[in-house]
Amino acid sequence: MTLPLLLVILGPTASGKTALSLHVGERLQGEIVSCDSVAVYRDFEIGTAKPSKDERTRVPHHLIDIAGPEELITAGDYSRLARRSISDISARGRLPIVVGGSGLYLRALLDGLFAGPPRSEDLRSRLRKRAAERGNDYLHGVLRRVDPAAARTIHANDVPKVVRALEVSISARSPMTGLWKQGRDPLQGFRFLRVGLNPDRETLYQRINQRAREMFSAGLLEETRMLIERYGSSVWPLNSLGYKQAMQHLRGELSFEQAIVAAQQGHRNYAKRQMTWFHREPEVNWIPDFGSNPAVQKQIVDLIKGKAES
């Protein structure tokens, strides 16, 4: 018996993942599992370019609006929840479509993570404080003693990763890279079909600029103000692209126009990083175009039909 198909659509922001997923979902009785680290939070609408209410009626969506902004959803949380959704969808005999822009979340879902100890906020803040007081190199030196292999791959200036490696190694009383050797827990029971959208860079950047500006005219500022009022200005997702710049404008640090330009910049840089990440993803069927292109949509539907029969 052949395993059920799992479609994965990946690509940078504004590459047309949503359009493609809706088309395929409608045509092939699919349900969408969003893989977006910010869309998981309720009330973050405009800046996350979530699919509209109407679109979510056309094709069922999962892993959107699953937490309040004051909650912390990690890659591990996401992975567990998404796997549950996928097996439910599959049990209903429908096609699960993972639509991903968040590289780490996608990897956590498909390849799994290593079995690490739980977060320790206490330990983390102590380590961060240590780095601030005695310098990045000092903290990195500690890591070099605790987990030399980790120290070799993590740059001293990358404090968050140094802190994480130390947190894991110290609370587990064992080097983090040693724990890695025990392996990950990959998602099993499916045949993966990965489709990657990789439109022409310059065109993508234009599209990003346009979309970021539209977010502001669609009321990103008002939404941000509402979020601050409702949840306070220190909730984590307010640091996300667009919201961050909207906050800076509300605080008077940037003019309206400057905020837009900064948000565009941030989104372009992000798209670049996403592509770097996705280049490493194995077995991707790369499409050098936008997912909103009807020809691409047809091509993917045909591709899936072919796979489903084989």
Piece of the chain touching RNA by CB under 7 A; list 102-110, 138-146, 251-259, 302-310: 102-110
209 part of the interface to RNA, by CB under 7 A = no
Site for RNA in 242-261 (CB under 7 A): 242
Considering the complex, state which of residue 71 and residue 289 has its C-beta at the smaller distance from RNA. Answer: 71
Residues 97, 22: Cα–Cα separation, whole Å = 10
Task: Give the DSSP letter string of the chain.
Answer: -PPPEEEEEE-STTSSHHHHHHHHHHHTTEEEEEE-TTTTBTT--GGGTPPPHHHHHHS-EESSS-B-TTS---HHHHHHHHHHHHHHHHHTT-EEEEEE--HHHHHHHHT-----PPP-HHHHHHHHHHHHHH-HHHHHHHHHHH-HHHHHHS-TT-HHHHHHHHHHHHHHTS-HHHHHTT------S-EEEEEEE---HHHHHHHHHHHHHHHHHTTHHHHHHHHHHHH-TT-GGGGSTTHHHHHHHHTTSS-HHHHHHHHHHHHHHHHHHHHHHHHTSSSEEEESS-TT-HHHHHHHHHHHHHHHH-
36 part of the interface to RNA, by CB under 7 A = yes
Interface map 162-201 toward RNA (x if CB under 7 A): -xx---x-----------x---x----------------x
Considering the complex, state which of residue 136 and residue 299 has its C-beta at the smaller distance from RNA. Answer: 136
Cβ(192)–Cβ(109) below 8 Å: no
- The footprint of RNA on this chain (CB under 7 A) covers a number of residues equal to 60
Considering the complex, state which of residue 158 and residue 289 has its C-beta at the smaller distance from RNA. Answer: 158
Considering the complex, state which of residue 21 and residue 102 has its C-beta at the smaller distance from RNA. Answer: 102
**Shortest Cβ distance from residue 179 to RNA (Å)?**
8
Sequence-separated (6 or more) residues with CB below 8 Å from residue 212: 242, 260, 263, 264, 267
Q: By CB under 7 A, name the one of 27, 119, 130, 211 that touches RNA.
A: 119
Piece of the chain touching RNA by CB under 7 A; list 16-24, 54-62, 276-284, 302-310: 276-284
101 part of the interface to RNA, by CB under 7 A = yes
Considering the complex, state which of residue 7 and residue 10 has its C-beta at the smaller distance from RNA. Answer: 10
Site for RNA in 53-82 (CB under 7 A): 72-77
Piece of the chain touching RNA by CB under 7 A; list 1-9, 42-50, 86-94, 217-225: 42-50
Q: By CB under 7 A, name the one of 84, 236, 257, 285 that touches RNA.
A: 236
Sites of contact with RNA (CB under 7 A): 36-39, 47-49, 72-77, 101-105, 107-108, 113-116, 119, 124, 128, 153-155, 157-161, 163-164, 168, 180, 184, 201, 205, 236, 239-242, 265-266, 268-270, 272-277, 279-280
